[in-house]
Structure 1
Amino acid sequence: MKPTISVIIPFTKNPIQLDEAISSVMQQTFKDFEIVLVNNQSSQDALDNALVWSRKHPAKIRLVSELKKGAAAARNRGILESHGEFIAFLDSDDRMKPHRLYAQLEALKNHPEITLVGAWKDRVSPDGQTLLEKNDKPKIPRWASILFLDDSRFLKDPLFEPQTSTFFFRKETALEIGSFDETFDPFWLEDTDFVLRMYQRGRILIVPDSLIEYRTHTQEEEDYRIFDIRNIQNHGLFFEKLKGWYFSKSSPSMRKAFDKIASRWLRESAIKIIYFRGGEKISRVLLKRAIAANNLDIKNIECFLRFFLPSSLWPRPFNRIPLTRGVLPEDINLEWAKSFLSI
C-alpha cells in the first residue's frame, strides 16, 4: 500500500546531521509516511549512514541516487521516486518537530485551492544545541512587494516564501508546474522560483507554528554563501523569468517596478563583486546602472561614493568581508556588467 506522505531528504555530507534529520522524521506522530533519501554525490560516510537506515527500515526508508549535482536535481529525483500523494521536504541538516507532518497534512488535505504549505521555524546554532530564535516567520520577498504592489490578489493573498524544509505539497501539483528548475543548480533561488510558480497556480498557506528546527550556518559557511558568484548569476536567471511572466512595455508601472528590482539587485551585486580581484571597475559599472534605474534610492549613490574611499570604508554585504579576495569567473567582466539585469 502506498504511503500518504513521502518525506524527501537530499544529502551530500555530514552523517551526524543526517542521522538527526532521519530520527526526527521517525518520531512523527503521523505514521503513514515513507522517507526517500536522495544521495547527491554524497561523502562516503554519509552514504554509509543512509545505507544503515535503509537496511534497518526497508519498508519505511528508501535510498535513491541523483548523479547531477544540485539542489533542484536532487529534489526532483526525490519527487519522481516518491510514492506518496503528499510530499514533505527536509534538508539533511534540519530537524522536524514531532507534529510537523500531521499539522501540514491537516492544513492541506481538504483544500484543493492551496498548492503549498509552509510553516514557522526555530533557528538553532550550527551544532544544533542552542535555540537562537523561536517562531521565525516567513517573510514577503522584497522583489514581490515591488512587483505586485498594485496587484489586487497580492494585497489580499500576499506571497510568503517559507523555508524549504517546511515545504509540503501534493506530488501531482509539483509535477504539473514542472517541479524545480534545474538551470538554477547547484543552488540559489531554485526554491524562490518554485514558490512563485506554486503561487501562480494557487494559494500558499503558512501554518502559524514552528514545525522544524533550522540549523544556521557557521561563519565560514556564511562567508562562502554571501560571496558566492552563483548567487548573483542566478538572480539574473530569475530576473529573466520574471520578465517573461510579468513585464509589459505598455505598462509604465510595471517598467518602474522592474527598474526598482534591477536597481536593488545591481547594487547588491556590486558590493559583493568589489571584494574580488579585478572587481572594482565592474562594481562601479553596476552601481552606475543601479543609479540610472532608480535615482531616488539614496543607497545607490551612497555606495557609489564610498567605492572611491579606502577599502576599509567600502560597504560590506551583511557587514562581512571575505578573508581573501577571490577570482571572478571569466564571464563576469565589464561587458557582462553592461547587460546584467537589463530590461
Structure 2
Amino acid sequence: MPHQASAEHEEDGPLVSVIVPCFNHAKSVRRAVESALRSNYPHIEVVVLDDGSADDPGAALVELLPDPRVRLLRRDHAGSNRARSRAIEESSGEYITFLDADDTMEPGRLDAQLALARAHGPRILVFCSSRILHRGRLHSTKTPPVSPHATDVTDAFASMLFRPNSATLLIARSFYDELGGFDPIYRHLETHFQLRAMAAGARVLSAPDVLYHVHRDGRSLSTRSHGEDMARFISEVDTAGRTPDASPMLRKYCRMRQRVNALHLLSCGPEDRRIVLSAFHRTKPNVWARVGLFVLIAITPYLGQDRKLFFARWINSAVGLWTKWR
C-alpha cells in the first residue's frame, strides 16, 4: 500500500518511512535498524531493501522482522539509487528519510528534522549534522558553518560550505514525487537529486545537532569511483547553471558544485579519470578551471590514497574559505 499513511498515524503525527538500502552489509544492518527503532518519534516504518547481497541480511534481521514497523524487501543488484527508489515505492510514510545499512542514527534525529519540516512547508530538504567514525574513532564531523541556532543553511549548501551526508535527508513525499524521485540512470550518485531540488527553488534546512553517525571500516575510506555517473552529473550541473531563468542561488550552487566535482579526479582510476575529464572539457571551462584540472591531473599519480583524501579535503576547505570571503 505505497503512498498512503494510515488514519491512525495522521491523527497522532505523520508516518516517517526510514529507507535502508543494503548491499553486503549483513554484519551491520541489524545495528542500523535497531538505532532507527530506538527513535523517540514513534510513528515510523523501517523499510530495508536487500539489493542482491552475497551475504544474508535477512538472517541478521530475523529477530527484528516480527516487529510490525520493520519490512525486508529483496531485489537483484541494481545499485543504491534503484534500491532506494524501490523501497520508497513500497513505503507508506508522509515523510521519507534514509539510513545506510552500515550507519546509525540518534534517537532524537526524527523529532528534530520533522519539527523543521512541518514548520517550513513541504518544498524543503532537511538534513542534520553527522559524525564520521573510522574504525570506531572520530574521523570528521559535517556541520553547517553557521550559528547553532540558525537552521536555514541554503546559502551555505549552495556555496559548498555545508555538504551534508546525503543519507541524513528528510523530505516530504509530495516534494519527492514532484522532483521525480531518484533518476534510475544514476546507479549510485545521489547528488543529482539535490541539484533538481535546488533547480525547483528548494530551501535547505539542517538540525544543528549531530544526529547521524557514519561508520567506516578500513575499505570504505577509499571513495568508490563511478565515472559514468559523475560524467553525466557534470553535464547536468553545467546545463542547469546555464539555463537562462536559473536563479542566482542555483547558479552559485552549480558553480561551486563543479569545483567539488573536480575533486573526484583525485579518487578516480585511470579509465574513470579519462571519462570525467572528457565531461569537464565538454562544458568548455574557462582558463582558470582548465589550470585547476591540469594541476589535479598532474599531482594525482604522486599521491597515495590517504594523501589524496587529505589533499581533497584541503582544497575543499580552501574553496570554502574563498567563497566565504570573496
Q: Which runs of no fewer than 5 residues in structure 2 stay unpaired?
A: 1-5, 10-14, 146-152, 310-326
Summarize the Cα distance change of 1:43–1:78 in structure 2 as closer, same or farther, 3 Å threshold.
same
Which segment is superposed worse, 39-48 or 25-34?
Answer: 39-48
Does 2:72 match 1:63? Answer: yes
- Which of 221, 243, 257 in structure 1 is aligned with 2:238? 243
2: CA distance between counterparts of 1:111 and 1:250? Answer: 25
Please provide the CA RMSD for this pair: 4.0
Structure 1 contact 7–90 (Cα < 8 Å) conserved: yes
1: CA distance between counterparts of 2:61 and 2:214? Answer: 21
1:25-64 aligned within 5 A = 25-54=36-65, 56-57=66-67, 59-64=68-73
- Which of 68, 89, 112 in structure 2 is aligned with 1:103? 112
Does 2:213 match 1:221? Answer: no
Mark the structure with the bigger radius of gyration.
1
Q: Which runs of no fewer than 5 residues in structure 1 stay unpaired?
A: 140-152, 322-343
* SS of 1:110 mapped into structure 2: helix
**Equivalent in the alignment of 1:150:** none
- Which of 265, 271, 286 in structure 2 is aligned with 1:269? 265
* SS of 1:182 mapped into structure 2: coil
- Which of 316, 319, 327 in structure 1 is aligned with 2:307? 319
**Equivalent in the alignment of 1:90:** 99
1:1-343 aligned within 5 A = 1=6, 3=9, 4-54=15-65, 56-57=66-67, 59-112=68-121, 114-126=123-135, 129-133=136-140, 135-137=141-143, 158=158, 160-185=162-187, 187=188, 189=189, 191-201=190-200, 202-218=202-218, 220-223=219-222, 225=223, 228=225, 230=226, 232-247=227-242, 269=265, 272-274=268-270, 293-296=285-288, 299-300=292-293, 302=295, 314-315=302-303, 319-320=307-308
* SS of 2:85 mapped into structure 1: helix
Summarize the Cα distance change of 1:108–1:44 in structure 2 as closer, same or farther, 3 Å threshold.
same
Q: 1:314-340: CA deviations, max 9, x gaps?
A: 35566259xxxxxxxxxxxxxxxxxxx
2: CA distance between counterparts of 1:306 and 1:122? Answer: 29
2: CA distance between counterparts of 1:264 and 1:174? Answer: 25
- Using the TM superposition, give the Cα deviation of residue 192 of structure 1 relative to its aligned residue in structure 2, in angstroms: 0.8
Structure 2 contact 144–156 (Cα < 8 Å) conserved: no
Percent of aligned pairs with the same residue?
Answer: 21
- Using the TM superposition, give the Cα deviation of residue 183 of structure 1 relative to its aligned residue in structure 2, in angstroms: 0.9
2: CA distance between counterparts of 1:10 and 1:207? Answer: 23
**Equivalent in the alignment of 2:323:** none
Structure 2 contact 105–212 (Cα < 8 Å) conserved: yes
Summarize the Cα distance change of 1:245–1:301 in structure 2 as closer, same or farther, 3 Å threshold.
closer
Letter in 1 for 2:240: W
2: CA distance between counterparts of 1:212 and 1:120? Answer: 7
Q: 1:93-125: CA deviations, max 9, x gaps?
A: 110101111111111113215421101012222
- Using the TM superposition, give the Cα deviation of residue 53 of structure 1 relative to its aligned residue in structure 2, in angstroms: 1.8
2: CA distance between counterparts of 1:18 and 1:35? Answer: 12
Letter in 2 for 1:13: N
Structure 1 contact 117–167 (Cα < 8 Å) conserved: yes
